[in-house]
Amino acid sequence: MDYRKYGETLYVRMDRGDEIIGGILDICKKEQIRSAVFQGIGGCGEAQIQTYLPATKSFETQTIRGVLELVSLTGNIISDDQEGLYHHTHALIAYKTDGQHCVAGGHIKSLTVSYTAEIELRPVIGGMIRRQFDAETGTGFWSFP
């Protein structure tokens, strides 16, 4: 992984074997970024895609492996009152199965790069977005202090 900061935006190149979500969180910790948005594209070898099930307040996870095109990655990073970082990431993954082109998407737990991924990471400037836990849904939402 390598990245450069131009203006207030960080441009990130992930390399073979890098895990995208962990890499973004590592950069945020290193650069002391408490809230940000990001987007990207690339090629992956493994994707863990999740669907949130409100009835059980849990995620169902599906793992896809193979030649995966990261068609669209979008997400955000926010922090809680204890300065912990949280990501909320969604993606579309294209792949072939039995000669057919397929697409899978949803909430992302992890993505492992097969050859490269290119990500734009934009910190929130002039404010901060926090995470506020919602007991009814069992998940966290944006909060504006």
Q: Are 70 and 91 in contact (CB under 8 A)?
A: yes
For the cut 90, the answer to whether the pLDDT of residue 90 exceeds it is yes
Instruction: Please tell me the total count of domains within the chain.
Output: 1
**DSSP result, 73-92:** EEEEEEE-TT--EEEEEEEE
Return the pLDDT at 9.
98
Average pLDDT over residues 56-83: 93
Its domain, for residue 24, covers 2-143
Lowest mean pLDDT among 1-10, 18-27, 79-88: 79-88
pLDDT band with cut points at 50, 70 and 90 for residue 71: very high
Task: Decide if pLDDT at 43 tops 90.
Answer: yes
All residues at 6 or more sequence positions from 48 whose CB lies less than 8 Å from its CB, including other chains: 61, 62, 63, 108, 109, 110, 111
Q: What is the pLDDT of residue 136?
A: 86
State the pLDDT confidence band at 145, using cuts at 50, 70 and 90.
confident
* Domain CATH number, residue 67: 3.30.1330.80
**pLDDT of the residue at 133:** 86
Residue 82 pLDDT > 80: no
Take residue 12 and report the two structure tokens written for it: 């990130």
